[in-house]
């Protein structure tokens, strides 16, 4: 994946002899395709709640990880996985009550029309399955995604994941559209522009003899720089793909499971009903599980004719992990907490923007926040260099975030949902100190 905050060989000399040796061993056995975060990579050996610990015992505030969305090593999830592992782990070709119970509980969090789920192990697999179904149902091949989207790593899905970089070719059947930009366009423009861009992409497909199959969108546009508002701007685009005979796939791998605070699923904020919804990352709080939630009428013929089986998808241990995640979200009130802590952070960041002119825009919802860093507010010029310095400056202060966006200048703040106001205050304080240090 193209990364805006990757370790490079130029920084190797800054590291200790032990760290250099470990990186060389890593490069030798894992090869050149892997990447490390930060100019000074972290050697993490333990996680607990919102904290990560390195090999020297130093503690880091994790304000980036949405895989361990319930917090690292949440005891309820660990206990559920451990007990089920010790009892049984097979697959979905045997009857197993807990798998059915979990599927019932999961689909109950969706609009009634989305009532069936197909389990996978990764979000990439879920999106790959969505492509197969969309092509089967529509008879089309065309896919529309945003210009810096990331949807996964399978061969089919990489073809509509532009954020993988210029050396991963997009498919000839793929059209990209610019993600909404709430910083540079008015709210009124936002409500119509994305829909018109999708309409133009559909028209271009048809001109080239390509029948549209699906529009896929991450409802908070994570890789495109984080865009949450105005609510409802997705609807014209969804209407356009439906009018063209295609399907709408909501990729909830990042914004789902209560992270946006206001709703359990990000698409709900926009008042749209997807045909399919893909899930992943936080679904098992670190246990590898993902899935596709779908309208029954969409999958009925595909399921009968093509069938579907995934050896590890939806196994009893995965079901135990998933059920524990739902228990924690509901039992600990994490969706409401995300809303409240997120509002506190957004307000505090707006206040911080009055002190530091590098902060051009603050946006987001719940515990998914973007802070756009600029060199000149008057022309809203992106400042990727300052963004990199901020991310790495926070790392030196033992606070972990990342960056995204087409110009690599949006601070990406996406902590576990157990993040508290006290944790937020720590992050904000260290961010202020980091910004002060940039002045010197």
The string of DSSP codes covering 205-246 is: HHHTT--EEEEEEETT-TTTT----STTTTHHHHHHHHHTT-
Q: For residue 136, what are the CA distances in angstroms to 131, 133, 300? A: 8, 5, 11
Give Cβ neighbours of residue 422 (< 8 Å, ≥ 6 apart).
none
* Half-sphere exposure for 361 (CA within 13 Å, toward CB): 24
For the CA atoms of 184, 190, 195, 196, the dihedral, rounded to the nearest 10 degrees, stands at -60
Q: Do 336 and 420 meet the contact criterion of CB atoms below 8 Å apart?
A: no
CA distances from 298 to 109, 113, 373, 423, 433 (A): 19, 11, 42, 43, 52
230, 182 Cβ separation under 8 angstroms:
yes
Q: How far apart are CA 198 and CA 237, in angstroms?
A: 6
The structural domains of the chain, ordered by start, are 75-331 (3.40.640.10), 333-440 (3.90.1150.10)
Distance CA 289, CA 55 (A): 28
User: What global pTM score does this model have?
Assistant: 0.95
Distance of alpha carbon 37 from alpha carbon 394, whole angstroms: 13
CA distances (Å), origin 395, targets 42, 59, 68, 99, 430: 9, 11, 19, 40, 10
Cα–Cα distance, 428 to 112 (Å, whole number): 40
Condensed to tens digits (0 to 9), the pLDDT of residues 268-293 reads: 999 999 999 999 999 999 999 999 99
pLDDT tens-place string over residues 182-226: 898 887 788 899 999 999 999 999 999 999 999 999 999 999 999
CA–CA separation, 363 and 370 (whole Å): 5
Burial of 435 (0-12, 13-18, 19+ CB in 10 A): buried
DSSP 311: S
Q: How far is CA 160 from the centre of its chain?
A: 15
Return the axis-axis angle of helices 296-305 and 123-138, rounded to nearest 10°.
90
Residue 76 tokens, joined = 């309820």
* Among 157, 91, 158, CA closest to 129: 157
Of 417, 297, 305, residue with least CA distance to 368 = 417
Could you read off the pLDDT tens digit of each residue along the chain, which spans 440 residues? 446 677 877 888 888 888 889 999 999 999 988 888 898 899 999 999 999 999 999 999 999 999 999 999 999 999 999 999 999 999 988 889 999 999 999 999 999 999 999 999 999 999 999 999 999 999 999 999 999 999 999 999 999 999 999 899 999 999 999 999 989 888 778 889 999 999 999 999 999 999 999 999 999 999 999 999 999 999 999 999 999 999 999 999 999 999 999 999 999 999 999 999 999 999 999 999 999 999 999 999 999 998 898 999 999 999 999 999 999 999 999 999 999 999 999 999 999 999 999 999 999 999 999 999 999 999 999 999 999 999 999 999 999 999 999 999 999 999 999 999 999 999 999 999 999 999 87
């Amino acid at each position: 994946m193209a990364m805006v905050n990757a370790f490079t060989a130029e920084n190797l000399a800054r590291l200790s002899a032990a760290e250099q040796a470990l990186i060389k061993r890593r490069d030798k056995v894992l090869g050149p395709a892997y990447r490390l975060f930060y100019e000074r990579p972290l050697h993490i050996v333990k996680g607990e709640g919102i904290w990560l610990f390195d090999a020297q015992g130093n503690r880091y505030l994790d304000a980036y990880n949405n895989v361990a969305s319930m917090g690292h090593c949440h005891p309820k999830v660990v206990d559920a996985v451990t007990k089920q592992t010790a009892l049984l782990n097979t697959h979905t070709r045997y009857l197993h009550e807990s798998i059915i119970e979990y599927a019932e509980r999961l689909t109950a969090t969706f609009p009634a029309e989305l009532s069936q789920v197909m389990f996978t192990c990764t979000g990439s697999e879920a999106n790959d399955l969505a492509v197969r179904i969309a092509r089967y149902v529509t008879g089309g091949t065309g896919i529309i995604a945003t210009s810096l989207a990331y949807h996964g790593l399978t061969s089919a899905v990489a073809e509509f994941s532009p954020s993988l970089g210029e050396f991963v070719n997009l498919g000839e059947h793929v059209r990209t559209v610019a993600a909404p930009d709430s910083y540079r366009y008015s709210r009124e423009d936002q409500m119509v522009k994305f829909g018109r861009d999708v309409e133009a992409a559909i028209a271009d497909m048809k001109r080239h003899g390509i029948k549209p199959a699906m529009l896929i969108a991450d409802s908070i546009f994570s890789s495109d720089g984080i865009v949450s508002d105005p609510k409802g701007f997705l609807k014209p685009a969804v209407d356009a793909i439906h009018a063209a005979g295609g399907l709408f796939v909501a990729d909830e791998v990042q914004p789902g499971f209560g992270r946006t605070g206001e709703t359990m699923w990000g698409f709900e904020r926009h008042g749209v009903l997807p045909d399919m919804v893909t899930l992943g990352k936080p679904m098992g709080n670190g246990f590898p599980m993902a899935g596709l939630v779908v309208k029954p009428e969409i999958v009925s013929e595909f399921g009968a004719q093509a069938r579907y089986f995934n050896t590890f998808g939806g196994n009893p241990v995965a079901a135990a992990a998933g059920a524990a995640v739902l228990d924690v979200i509901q039992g600990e009130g994490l969706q409401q907490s995300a809303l409240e802590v997120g509002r506190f952070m957004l307000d505090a960041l707006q206040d911080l923007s009055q002190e530091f002119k590098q902060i051009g825009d603050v946006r987001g919802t719940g515990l998914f926040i973007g802070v756009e860093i600029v060199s000149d507010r008057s022309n809203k010029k992106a400042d990727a260099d300052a963004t990199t310095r901020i991310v790495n400056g926070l790392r030196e202060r033992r606070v972990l975030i990342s960056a995204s966006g087409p110009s690599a200048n949006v601070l990406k703040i996406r902590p576990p949902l157990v993040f508290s106001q006290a944790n937020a205050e720590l992050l904000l304080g260290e961010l202020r100190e980091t910004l002060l240090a940039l002045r010197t």
